[in-house]
Amino acid sequence: MLVALEAALPEYVVEHIRINFLYVQLGEEADKPCWTKSSRGNFRVKSAWELLRQKADMNEDLNLLWIKGLPFKLSYLAWRIWNGKVPVASLMHSWNPTISQDCMCCSIPVEETIEHLFLKSEVAFRIWDHYSRVAGLLGPMINLKQTLRRWWSSNSSYRIQVVFQVVAIVILWCLWKRRNTILHGGSFSERKVIWEINDIILKAIKTRFKRDIGRNGRISLLIYRGIEITVALTV
């Protein structure tokens, strides 16, 4: 049989058959194609995709964006910010020069980039500084990714680490919400940003840790003008 195949097929195909299909016996049935990437020999799109796709290395930073108990839209926005896929004014201006690239959230006109809007703008800087001081995460905020990594890599208990992950993502969401509200003619004070951040964090903690909120042995994490959020430290 192999002699006949050698006369009709390329050498590498015959060699593949020699290695993998020596157990095949001649019979009365007609030949049928066999998909070797499937255990049953049937073609599956999934196995073809796995064969063709170019897998990138696992990015642990991206895994930290997805948190149980936090609404999907918040994590998705954080993913877009991390990958530079948010339509800030500077990006919109590059598509259409008639669109202003100035930040509408600042009193002094500054180009609205992702770094500016979510970290270095007037309100954003004060928001990050406030929560960083309360959480004890002191140090310069060099860029947005470095700031997020500092929140994600805190040397704390598991539950506090989860809360810190939530805080960072919620801050991004509320800054984006404030920006869009102002862009469309509304108002969104800094105090309201703080209130919404605290409210979303509290709801996320309640969802994640269920009945642990309000028990004894808890630590105050976020305090601003009488607004207090706590999470139990007991495991």
pLDDT value at position 210?
A: 66
One domain, residues 22 and 69: no
One domain, residues 83 and 191: yes
pLDDT 10s digits, 31-66: 777 777 777 778 888 888 888 887 777 778 888 889
One domain, residues 144 and 205: yes
CA distance 107 to 122: 8
Number of domains in the chain: 2
One domain, residues 117 and 218: yes
Alpha helices in the chain (DSSP H): 2-8, 11-20, 45-52, 60-63, 72-82, 89-95, 114-115, 122-135, 144-152, 158-183, 190-209
One domain, residues 73 and 189: yes
One domain, residues 71 and 39: no
pTM of the prediction? 0.72
One domain, residues 37 and 121: no
Structure confidence at residue 13 as a pLDDT band (50, 70, 90): confident
Whole domain around residue 37: which residue ranges? 2-52
One domain, residues 65 and 131: yes
One domain, residues 30 and 130: no
